[in-house]
Amino acid sequence: MIRYLLLVYLLLKKHTSKSIGPIFRQLAEEQLEAAVLSTLWERLTQIIMLSSQLIFDDVDNEKLFQLLEFIEMNILQFDSAASAKL
């Protein structure tokens, strides 16, 4: 976590968006992956909700919400285990 805070401080100080040196390369890649995963999940959730409403007229929204919540909790557990290395 300290490495990440130091990286953010250095990036803000130099007004740059690139990572600084090889020390932070892995950390920057992991943070980018987490951000992409979050955005991808939000979009995928929207697609699943819209397509289920278009394809199936009698879909039970409550069960669909439970399924999406279950999947999201598993993604968050994986994400928190990956970020625990910081």
Tens digit of each residue's pLDDT (9 = 90 or more) over 51-83: 888 887 777 888 888 888 998 888 777 756 655
For the whole model, what pTM was predicted?
0.53
Instruction: Please indicate, yes or no, if residue 37 is contained in any of the structural domains.
Output: yes
Instruction: Please indicate, yes or no, if residue 10 is contained in any of the structural domains.
Output: no
Instruction: Please indicate, yes or no, if residue 71 is contained in any of the structural domains.
Output: yes
Instruction: Please indicate, yes or no, if residue 27 is contained in any of the structural domains.
Output: yes
d(CA 83, CA 9): 19
| Domain of residue 47, residue span | 21-83
Chain Cα centroid distance, residue 80: 10
pLDDT tens, position by position, 14-50: 665 555 566 667 777 777 777 788 788 889 888 988 8
Domain count, the chain: 1
Instruction: Please indicate, yes or no, if residue 47 is contained in any of the structural domains.
Output: yes
Q: Which amino acid is at 25?
A: R
Instruction: Please indicate, yes or no, if residue 13 is contained in any of the structural domains.
Output: no
